[in-house]
Amino acid sequence: MENENLGVDRPRVEAAVRELLIGIGEDPDRPGLVGTPDRVARACEELFGGIADDPARHLRKQFHEPGNEELVVVRDIPFHSMCEHHLLPFIGRAHVAYIPRDGRITGLSKIARCVAGYAARPQLQERLTAQVADAMVDELDPLGVLVVIEAEHTCMTMRGIRAAGAMTVTSAVRGSLRSDARSREEALSLLHVSA
């Protein structure tokens, strides 16, 4: 992600990680762990750099293709995020479909950057899905938007219920893709997600 180092107080994270290591019964001064607080703090800058960012900004890179109101689908955008309940990763793919209003379109990579930005926060999958859909609505004023996210939550697979392979699928639908079942079905078929 661009604009790393946003918002993360590294010394504070380092101190907390040292405490965590002590709390789990480890010796933070043993050679293998000496550099760990610094590494985790730097990792947090990547994993949580979206907290102080405005990921919708990416969608402001726009082009105008007058008259074009045809469905655009960006499918299989890989992402990873951290669940806000356990701070464990959830990993999956996002699919974004929209119908531009009078050819108001955005750069395709900007949609993936927007997903990555909102994912770089402590998240709920439902909120992540809605935030991407709402950013598309706010920045592009499209006729319709459909966002589907499929992910595996490691807090459900590595611990707790240990339901290995369980996938969570969420969707957020706005505008004509919500009100018009035929366009929604067309979008879902291009996303390879069944209605």
Where along the sequence are the contacts to ligand GTP (CB under 6 A)? 83, 85, 124-126, 153, 155-156, 160-161
To the query of whether residue 83 is one of the catalytic residues in this protein, the response is yes
> Which ranges in the chain belong to alpha helices (H)?
10-23, 36-47, 108-119, 125-140, 154-157, 176-179, 181-191
Q: Give the count of residues interacting with Zn ion (CB under 5 A).
A: 4
To the query of whether residue 84 is one of the catalytic residues in this protein, the response is yes
* Candidates 14, 58, 114, 125; catalytic one: 125
* Candidates 14, 44, 58, 83; catalytic one: 83
To the query of whether residue 86 is one of the catalytic residues in this protein, the response is yes
When asked if residue 159 is in the footprint of Zn ion (CB under 5 A), the reply is no
Q: Is 155 annotated as a binding residue?
A: yes
When asked if residue 12 is in the footprint of Zn ion (CB under 5 A), the reply is no
Give dist(CA 87, CA 101) in Å, integer. Answer: 38
Q: Which residue is nearest to Zn ion (CB)?
A: 155
Give Cα separations from 12 to 33, 53, 85, 183 (angstroms).
17, 20, 21, 49
To the query of whether residue 62 is one of the catalytic residues in this protein, the response is no
Beta bridge partners of 154: none
Contacts of 118 (CB under 8 A, 6+ apart): 50, 55, 128, 131, 132, 135
Q: Is 86 annotated as a binding residue?
A: yes
When asked if residue 86 is in the footprint of Zn ion (CB under 5 A), the reply is yes
Dihedral sign of CA atoms 173, 90, 192, 101 in order? positive
The CB-of-155 to Zn ion minimum distance in angstroms stands at: 3
The CB-of-24 to ligand GTP minimum distance in angstroms stands at: 17
* Candidates 4, 46, 64, 85; catalytic one: 85
Strands 122-123 and 72-83: parallel
Q: Which residues are catalytic?
A: 83-86, 125, 153, 155
- Interface positions with Zn ion (CB under 5 A): 83, 85-86, 155
Binding residues for Zn(2+): 83, 86, 155
